[in-house]
A = this chain, B = another copy of it.
Amino acid sequence: MTIKVGIADTTFARVDMASAAIKKLNEMTSKIKIIRYTVPGMKDLPVACKKLIEEEGCEIVMALGMPGGKDKDKVCAHEASQGLMMAQLMTNKHIIEVFVHEDEAKDEKELAWLAKRRAEEHAENVYYLLFNQKFLEKNAGKGLRQGFEDVGAARE
List the interface of chain A (C-beta within 8 A of B).
Answer: 9-19, 36-40, 43-44, 46-48, 50-51, 54-55, 72, 74-76, 78-90, 92-97, 101, 108-109, 111-113, 115, 122, 125, 129, 133, 136-137, 139-146, 151-156
Contacts and interface: CB of A to CB of B under 8 A. Distances in A.
A156 B38 contact: no
Q: How many copies does the complex hold?
A: 5
Contacts of A125: 40
Contact of A85 (B15, B83, B141): B83
Given A109-B154, A153-B14, A79 B79 contact: no
B83 A14 contact: no
Contact of A140 (B9, B96, B101, B143): B9
Given A14-B141, A90-B89, A140-B11, A129 B47 contact: no
A89 B17 CA distance: 24
Given A47-B88, A72-B101, A85-B86, 11 more contacts: A9-B140, A11-B142, A14-B141, A14-B142, A37-B133, A43-B81, A83-B88, A109-B154, A111-B154, A112-B154, A115-B154
